[in-house]
Amino acid sequence: MGASKGALELVCPAGTPAALRAAIESGADAVYCGFRDETNARNFPGLNFSRDELRQAVMFAHQKGAKVLVAINTFPRAGDVGPWLRAVDDAAAFNADAVILADLGLLAYAAKEHPNLRLHLSVQAGAANTDAISFYVEAFSVKRVVLPRVLSVPEIAKMTRTVPCETEVFVFGGLCVMEEGRCSLSSYASGKSPNMHGVCSPASHVSYTEEGGSLVSRLGDFTINRVPSDQSVGYPTLCKGRFKTKFGAAHIFEDPVSLDARVLLPALRDAGVKALKIEGRQRGRAYVGAVVKTFRDAVDALERGETAPSGALTTLTEGQSATCGGYLKTWR
């Protein structure tokens, strides 16, 4: 298992130890995960790793020839940076293969205190141009940048020719209407910030009620959607809610749809991308196993010069619908 030299690296989500094992056994080259606190951007109940679980996860992954990348990608609270510093220290102590950081202070701390620890720049940093990425490389010796999902394939290709580090892009999973690291909608509605507390639309603020034959989903005091009771609804986030306008009720900001960039794998490889990232740390092991296996088969076929198999993932997408997102930018 594991990518050969020069091959695309498949980076897969692990929200639990079970999901981590499923990802590795399904062909992940690397998994990314976080501690069970607000230091990572998927701070949901029942997810993430205790210290002992993460230590064991790294040992298991290394035995299987896979890497573990620890996401410490939220922004510390003013005057309380301790949990974030401890997360960096512990990731290094557990022999994690890299930490994924967004905050300038954490990057500076990690570079100084753990000079042998590989640093990846989180998508939460929103670094979307050559100058920004070069700054992080020169200042903190960042080895890889996770690019925001707002760039087209030609833009990515142009960037990889000039930036002095590896690039990683998302190829499957949830999409965000905002450039990562710039969202304030959820914190406006719930008081919990995705960028600081690691929670977009926290479950504690979500409710579903039946009203007059309709299923109503709410985030805090905001009604997100109202549909017939026999229809399914997506998880209530403000950006994917339906709003009434003079043109009728519709998803104004973003449809509930997932990214699936399998058809673009040859173009992304030719663009110089190093790693392909699957989103979904909040998903279960069955989802992780199915998606990772499909992309493992696709990457292996690409490496052999063959057409990727057309394994169906539609049932695992949000709204049972998929898009290539900003990579194609067909709206231009």
Question: Is 70 exceeded by the pLDDT of residue 6?
Answer: no
- For residue 221, the one-letter residue type is D
Q: pTM score, two decimals?
A: 0.87
DSSP 246: T
213-261 pLDDT, tens digit each: 889 999 888 888 888 888 777 777 877 788 888 888 887 777 777 888 8
Give the tokens for residue 236: 């209530």
Residue 20's alpha-carbon distances to 92, 125, 261, in angstroms, are 19, 25, 22
Q: In 10 A of CB 284, how many CB atoms?
A: 13
Within 209-283, residue ranges assigned H as helices are 265-270
How many C-alpha atoms does 246 have within 13 Å on its Cβ side?
0
97-109 pLDDT, tens digit each: 999 999 999 999 9
How many C-alpha atoms does 236 have within 13 Å on its Cβ side?
24
Tell me the three state secondary structure of residue 283.
coil
Domain ranges of the chain: 9-175+257-327, 185-251
What class has domain 9-175+257-327? alpha beta
With pLDDT > 70 as the criterion, what percentage of the chain qualifies? 90
Which of 13, 40, 16 has the alpha carbon at shortest distance from 28?
13
Indicate the average pLDDT of the chain: 88
253-270 pLDDT, tens digit each: 777 778 888 999 999 999
- Phi, psi for residue 24 in degrees, rounded to 5: -70, -40
Type and span of the H or E element at 91: helix 82-93
- For residue 178, the one-letter residue type is M
DSSP 80: B
- Phi, psi for residue 127 in degrees, rounded to 5: -80, 110
Give the tokens for residue 150: 């707002």
Q: Are 258 and 172 in contact, with CB atoms under 8 Å apart?
A: yes
